[in-house]
Each structure stands twice: as C-alpha cells, then as structure tokens.
Amino acid sequence: MKYSSEFRDPAVAKKLIEQIGEAVAGFDGQMTLMEVCGTHTMAIYQHGIRALLPKSIRLISGPGCPVCVTPVSYVDHAVALARRPGTLITTFGDMVRVPGSSSSLQREKARGADVRIVYSPLDAVALAEKTPEKQIVFLGVGFETTTPTVAGAILEARRRGLSNFFALCANKTIPGPMAALAGDPELKVDGYICPAHVSAIIGAEAYRPLAEQLKVPCVVTGFEPLDMLQGVLMLARQIVAGEARVETQYSRIVKPGGNPKARAILEEVFEPCDTAWRGIGVIPQSGLKIRESYAAFDAERQLPVAVEEPREAKGCMCGEILKGKVTPTECPLFRQACTPENPIGACMVSSEGTCAAEYKYGT
C-alpha cells in the first residue's frame, strides 16, 4: 500500500475485524493489550478502534507520552531557570503549558520571563549563536525518537564553539517502563502494542527481553487504522497460542536493529541513568543523562538554581492513568476542573496525552 487512503480501506478493516473475532473465538477470559505510544493512543481514540474489537480484548494506554511522564520536579526546575536573570528557555509547545508545583512556563512568560517555542533543538543552537549575551536552555524531554536530535544539537553547539547553549534533560527510554508494568499484577498486560517511532530508532530487537524473559508478546505497530487492527490480530494470535515473541507489523519503517546512525549519536552524547517517571516512580537505567565529556552543555550542572519542593495537583489522577489503571473519565477532575483550556495534569496538556485524546474523541 502506498497511500494513506489504502491504510483506511473499510473493506480491509472489516476483514481484519472478522479475523480478530475468529482468533479469539475460543479464548476463555479477557486479554489486555497496552499501547505505549501517545500517537497510538490518539489513533485508537480518533478511529474508534476500541469499539471495533471483541469484548474479550481490552485496550489500555500506557506511559507513551513523553510530556506526560515528565515529573513535576522537572517542570519546577525549568520554571526556576526561567526566573534566572539572563536565561532564555526554549522548548516545544506542549511543555510551556504543563503545570508545575506553583507555576508554569506560560505563567513565567506572562510575568516577563524569556520563554520561546522552537521547532528543533538546532533552532535553540542558532538562537544561542545570535544571542551571546543570554544563556540559552533547551528543554530535553522525549524518548529515543527525539533524543538523537538533542544529541545532535549539543554536538553542533560544540562545533560552533558556543559556551551559552545548554540542555536540561529528562530524556527517557521506553523498554524500562514496559518491563516494570509487565510485572504489575494489577495490570496483567497480556501483550504490548510497541511504539513505532521509538522502534524506528532502537529496532524491534530491543523488545526481545520482554518476550523471552517476561513472556509478554510484542508487536511493533504502525499508526493507521489497518496497522492497528493488524497489530491487534498478530498479538491475539500469539496470546491464544500461548506464545510470546517479537513481531513487526510496521516493517515498512522499523528494522530489527533500528537506525545505527541515530543510535551512535545518542550513545556519543548520552549515557543511561536512573530516572523518575510520573506515576511510576524511579526506574533504574531508564533515563539518559549527558556524559561527562559534554558536561559543559548540561544546564543542571552549569546553571545551578534553587528548585521548590515538588507537589502534585490535588485530585489529579495522571499517575494512575499513565499506568493504565484508570481511564480519564474515572478522574473526578476530568471535564470539570481539568480541560484543555485549563489543564490540571500533563495528560490533558499534551497533544499525545490520554486525557486530551478522551476529551477530543471520547464519548
């Protein structure tokens, strides 16, 4: 198939739905499939995938939105830097509106802080070159998909000889939380719809420990409706057969070894570290920190600031939603105190957040 319309062909979708029904016809019980990609979450809501599946298949959303899983303490740190004289904060759009303990970057900007939205980390590098009188900080938030671009920006800043470009990093890797949630008895994840963008970088082989050691089937799946349905079918067939292996539905993009060039640049600048995930806690070696050899570009080490004690918003259930234990509609703030215009939690802010998806497309 070459065009998007072919990936949304109703006749093919109907056939796949029939095949899914046939695959689980003799299955006793309910199987729980978790998607761990915010774009998958949006696609499931947008195309009404849940309503098309047999009742024996339950789809739940996991920690696949990088903005959503970034802890409040990081937002507080960014706010503290924004208040620092002579500092200019650069970030992608969603982070500006995420509430911290007592403020947000949007509020700080309204109070006079220099906070600017950029479309690439290299935009921040260019800004540093044009604005030598300011300390330019880029907020490095993201998974393996975007982290190589942060690494590239640091390498470019070094090449240009810049001493006023820094990154405040909360970059994370996806397999760690997948393994952590696979062992949660309350969730009982039977299969993972593996992220497509991340997998294009790290490769499908990265999920082999989940399948072989934790016995959780994994299928790397694309974003179109037919991709999603075929991915569910592949998972359902594995689960019914009692198998657990890694398969790639999205083979037109994702290769077993991923993108060697992107992985090399990531490895050059970053090293694994323990890191906190909102709602999940600290997961060993699931974060990426700037290596000592590039410490001159690390905002945390070069621009010390006092950061307030982090506090989660009262009543917000983002943490439980990110673990797939509750749905957005089970949060008492959803559609009431928490809306896209007045977000209380990160899941309502981000364009990949589960609450934002439910608000926009849910019933």
- pLDDT interval class at 263 (50, 70, 90): very high
Structure tokens at 115: 């906070």
pLDDT digit string (tens) for 288-310? 999 999 999 999 999 999 999 99
Strand partners, 171: 288
Paired tokens of 222: 């694309």
CA atoms within a 13 Å half-sphere pointing along the CA-CB vector of 13: 17
Residue 7 tokens read as 């990936």
Please, which residues bridge with residue 298 across strands? Answer: 167
Look at residue 213 in the predicted model and tell me its pLDDT. 95
The answer on pLDDT for 3 being more than 70 is no
What is the CB neighbour count within 10 angstroms for residue 228? Answer: 26
**How far, in Å, are 89, 169, 178 from residue 121 at the CA level?**
12, 12, 27
Q: Quick one: which of 72, 91, 203 has its CA closest to 142?
A: 91
Query: Is residue 5 scored above 80 in pLDDT?
Result: no
Report the C-alpha gap between 146 and 124 in whole angstroms.
15
Which helix (H) or strand (E) segment is 248 a member of?
strand 246-248
Q: Compute the chain's Rg from CA coordinates.
A: 21
Lowest mean pLDDT among 55-59, 77-81, 228-232, 356-360: 356-360
**Higher model confidence: residue 66 or residue 235?**
235
Percent of the chain whose predicted confidence (pLDDT) is above 90: 83
18 exposure class (CB count in 10 Å sphere: 0-12, 13-18, 19+): exposed
Give the pLDDT score at 208: 96
Mean of the per-residue pLDDT values for the chain? 94
Whole-angstrom distance, CA of residue 296 vs CA of residue 164: 9
Sign of CA dihedral 300, 306, 310, 311: negative
Give the position of tokens 């490095």.
140
- For residue 156, pLDDT beyond 90: yes
Please state whether the predicted TM-score (pTM) of the whole model is above 0.85. Answer: yes
Pairing of the two strands 270-277 and 281-290: antiparallel
Q: Judging by DSSP bridges, how do beta strands 281-290 and 171-172 pair with one another?
A: antiparallel
Residue 259 has pLDDT above 90, yes or no: yes
Region 205-218: what's the mean pLDDT?
96
The confidence score (pLDDT) of residue 72 equals: 94
Position 323 scores a pLDDT of 86
CB count within 10 Å of CB 190 equals 22
H or E segment and range at residue 274? strand 270-277
CA distances from 44 to 49, 50, 207, 300 (A): 5, 7, 22, 37
- Is pLDDT of 1 > 70? no
> What DSSP letter does each residue of 224-244 carry, written as one string?
SHHHHHHHHHHHHHHHHHT--
Q: Which amino acid is at 338?
A: C
Q: Which two tokens stand for residue 97?
A: 């509106």
